[in-house]
Structure 1
Amino acid sequence: IGWWANFATFKLNNKWSIHGEYQWRRVSCVSDWQQGLLRVGMNHQINAKAQLRVGYAWAETFNYGDYPINGLGRDFTEHRTYQMVTLTDKPGILDFSHRFMLEQRWIGRYSSPEVQKEDDYFYVNRLRYMFRMQCPLKGKTIDDKEFYAAAYNEIFIGFGKNVNENVFDQNRLGLLIGYRLNKKWRIEGGFLNQILQLPREITLPGATTGQNVFQRNSGFVINSYISVF
């Protein structure tokens, strides 16, 4: 997989800012669609180490892989609202962050194989937790025109009456090298591993009963972060 993402923060004052991002997610590096994700939100800086965000996300997931996420092998749309808290700390040269996100998801579905367009949405909840750490590759702080290393892991847990097989929804692991051009712009790139559980059982060749299926995707991610203030 190849994930390309742009993140932007528009500062309004010392407490409030607007968040925007678009993620262009591909399979076979760049040749085919996996997902497009647009997310917007409003940030409130509670204090120097805590930030709250609420917002909306739109996602379009495409038919990819041997066992598509949609049981009919079709693309589908998803609408989300979300609430997020990020806690940061800096022990020594390391920067730590803990991100907790609660999502309300409305996922498009087809009522029958004959239907050519989504005609229903089902609702599920999802809880996400991401731990990230980063450190400078030179000196004790990450300054302009300097590289840094970063790593993160994020786990996704589904809950609610409409969650089927995938209470464990997915896990993402990233190992990155970043470069800070200036205080307003930095870029990152590196390895990404995604393990995703399908929301339904699948009867595999030679089997007589349905089984849980886990999809493993590995590739790269490239992120750009821009702050406007």
Structure 2
Amino acid sequence: MTIRKIILNLCLFFVLPSQAQTEKKIDNQTILWSRYYNQLTLNDKWSLHSEFDNRLFLNPVTENLFVIRTQIRYKLNEQVELGSGIGFYPVATQDPENISDFIIPEYRAQQDIIWKNTIGKILLNQRFQIDERFIRNASKTGLLPGTTFNWRFRFRIQAEYDLWKKNSRYLKTIVYEEILLNAGKSIVKNTFDQNRVYAALQYGINPKIAIELGYLNSFQQRSSGIDFYNRDIIRLSIFHKLKL
């Protein structure tokens, strides 16, 4: 049994005891995430990060959601970094076979702390993040007044390894695993949110531009407690660094 399966089974064991005898329903989906990520360095300590991310189902081809996110980051020292930001997530649909004619908006705040250290030639990156999610109430036919709030706690461990480097160009591999947990009055049966596993190659074209192509598997529990998404995600990212 892999480490990932052990972690996943532990999460399901602790947060789903009441559903242990219920057969799970798993929907398999394929999605393309394409994003532009801008990092504006203000000085040696402060930077402003902005992200635009479009997520598209591939079978059939249907819009999933769009992400607009910005955050301010502070470099405490060479090992520790702090961040805080806001995001807007208009969701078209979570089921490519069931397309609605309205968008469900979500507004999100986030705070995180990142700790970096080096083990041999591997850069190890650990992140703990808190999301405050405000999701617009909706029925199957339209939006309703008000929003539903819940917390989401995220822990990610990531490793990076340089395969090749010459002057300002490089090729490196990135792998990570992330566990996400829900909390709040609106969370009844899905305390476990999802487990993400990611592997990618990142190519630095010059000091300002890098391209990353990777595969992300997301196993996510839905609000029913017994329904799950198993998502195969292709992720294409363009990173753009600028200095003020």
**TM-score bin (small chain):** 0.7 to 0.9
Alignment map for 1:185-200 (pairs within 5 Å):
185-200=209-224
Alignment map for 1:76-225 (pairs within 5 Å):
76-110=104-138, 116-138=142-164, 144-200=168-224, 212-225=226-239
Q: What is the match of residue 240 of structure 2?
A: 226
- Tell me, in whole angstroms, the C-alpha distance in 2 between the residues paired with 1:108 and 1:77: 6
Assess if the C-alpha contact under 8 Å between 2:64 and 2:96 holds in 1.
no
More helix per residue: 1 or 2?
2
- Tell me, in whole angstroms, the C-alpha distance in 1 between the residues paired with 2:140 and 2:236: 37
Letter in structure 2 aligned against 1:146? Y
- Tell me, in whole angstroms, the C-alpha distance in 2 between the residues paired with 1:12 and 1:73: 41
Alignment map for 1:36-115 (pairs within 5 Å):
36-65=66-95, 75-110=103-138
- Tell me, in whole angstroms, the C-alpha distance in 2 between the residues paired with 1:152 and 1:142: 25
Aligned-pair identity (%) = 22
- Tell me, in whole angstroms, the C-alpha distance in 2 between the residues paired with 1:67 and 1:167: 26
Assess if the C-alpha contact under 8 Å between 2:57 and 2:96 holds in 1.
no
Q: What is the match of residue 24 of structure 1?
A: 54
- Tell me, in whole angstroms, the C-alpha distance in 2 between the residues paired with 1:144 and 1:174: 25
| Structure 1 stretches of 4+ moved >3 Å | 72-75
- Any gaps of 5 or more consecutive residues in structure 1? 202-211
Assess if the C-alpha contact under 8 Å between 2:81 and 2:115 holds in 1.
yes
Letter in structure 2 aligned against 1:96? L
Q: What is the match of residue 205 of structure 1?
A: none
Any idea what the Cα deviations from partners look like across 1:41-60, whole Å, max 9, x if unmatched? 11111011111111101101
- Tell me, in whole angstroms, the C-alpha distance in 1 between the residues paired with 2:59 and 2:49: 27
- Any gaps of 5 or more consecutive residues in structure 2? 1-30
Q: What is the match of residue 19 of structure 2?
A: none
Report the count of equivalent residues.
213
- Identify the match of residue 39 of structure 2 among 9, 34, 46: 9
Any idea what the Cα deviations from partners look like across 1:108-146, whole Å, max 9, x if unmatched? 112x556x33322011000011111111113xx685322
Instruction: Give the TM-score normalised by the residue count of structure 1.
Output: 0.85
- Tell me, in whole angstroms, the C-alpha distance in 1 between the residues paired with 2:77 and 2:123: 16
Instruction: Give the TM-score normalised by the residue count of structure 2.
Output: 0.80
Any idea what the Cα deviations from partners look like across 1:168-222, whole Å, max 9, x if unmatched? 1112111111101122221110211111111125xxxxxxxxxx10111103111
Assess if the C-alpha contact under 8 Å between 1:29 and 1:219 holds in 2.
no
Assess if the C-alpha contact under 8 Å between 1:135 and 1:142 holds in 2.
no
Letter in structure 1 aligned against 2:130? L
Q: CA deviation at 1:67?
A: 8.6
What SS does the corresponding residue of 2:205 show, helix, strand or coil?
strand
